[in-house]
Amino acid sequence: MTNGAETRVRQSRAKILAAAEDVFLRHGFLGANMDAVADVAGVSKQTVYAHGKSKEALFIQVVESMTGDAAEDIGEDEEDDFAGVTAGQFFLDAGTQQLLVVMTPRLMRLRRLVIGEVERFPELGHSLYENGVKRSVARYARAVEHFDRIGELRCDDHAAAANHFNWLLMGAPTNSAMFLGDAGIPSNNALEAHAQESVRIFLAAFRSAS
């Protein structure tokens, strides 16, 4: 395949995934169909099937793409540079970034959709967990290990401390958005304030006495 052909295939796939995301988030899995995806994408149904094979396969692609993109936006796969950064500043910056990326109508609708379909597509719940909670906790665990090693934090179980921070940070805003819909998503100012309070509580529990 030539470079030009490869580029067209990538562009076509991106267009179809964007259209499928729109259709699935608006109508749910059962209410969506490939004709609607083709209409939104402005391509033939045959082209949609060429990329997605089936509605089920296309749904899985959409979920994996959205969760992967969110993880990339947060920077969870990158090695953090802790040089010259205090524990408080790291967790405040990382926590605020996570909230502002995740707490959006788009990703909260995806979360509700995946939870609603987890019995039909258990692999989607696994994907959401692997690309969401697991990556976040792993990143925070690396940070806890670093700040424990240099004496700024003190804890025996780095992963447990990271998990505590992640749920301090995400628990209340996520519950609000899940049960109340888009209207339950806090404002950016409220999310920033919540991140500050989460860090304060976390440091009160784990900051070194020295």
CATH code for position 141: 1.10.357.10
Domain shared by 6 and 99, yes or no: no
Taking only the tens place, the pLDDT of each residue in 15-59 is 999 999 999 999 988 899 999 999 999 998 998 998 888 888 888
Domain shared by 16 and 84, yes or no: no
Please, which residues bridge with residue 207 across strands? Answer: 153
Domain shared by 73 and 150, yes or no: yes
Domain shared by 79 and 49, yes or no: no
CATH code for position 31: 1.10.10.60
Q: Count how many residues are written for the chain.
A: 210
Domain shared by 115 and 200, yes or no: yes
Domain shared by 131 and 189, yes or no: yes
Domain shared by 49 and 68, yes or no: no
CA distance 98 to 70: 9
Domain shared by 19 and 116, yes or no: no
Number of domains in the chain: 2
Domain shared by 7 and 81, yes or no: no
Domain shared by 80 and 49, yes or no: no
Domain extent, residue 97, equals 60-206
Domain shared by 82 and 177, yes or no: yes
Q: Residue 2 to residues 16, 48, 51, 154, 161: CA-CA distances in angstroms?
A: 21, 21, 18, 56, 50
Taking only the tens place, the pLDDT of each residue in 111-151 is 998 888 888 888 888 878 887 889 999 999 999 999 999 99
pTM more than 0.85: no
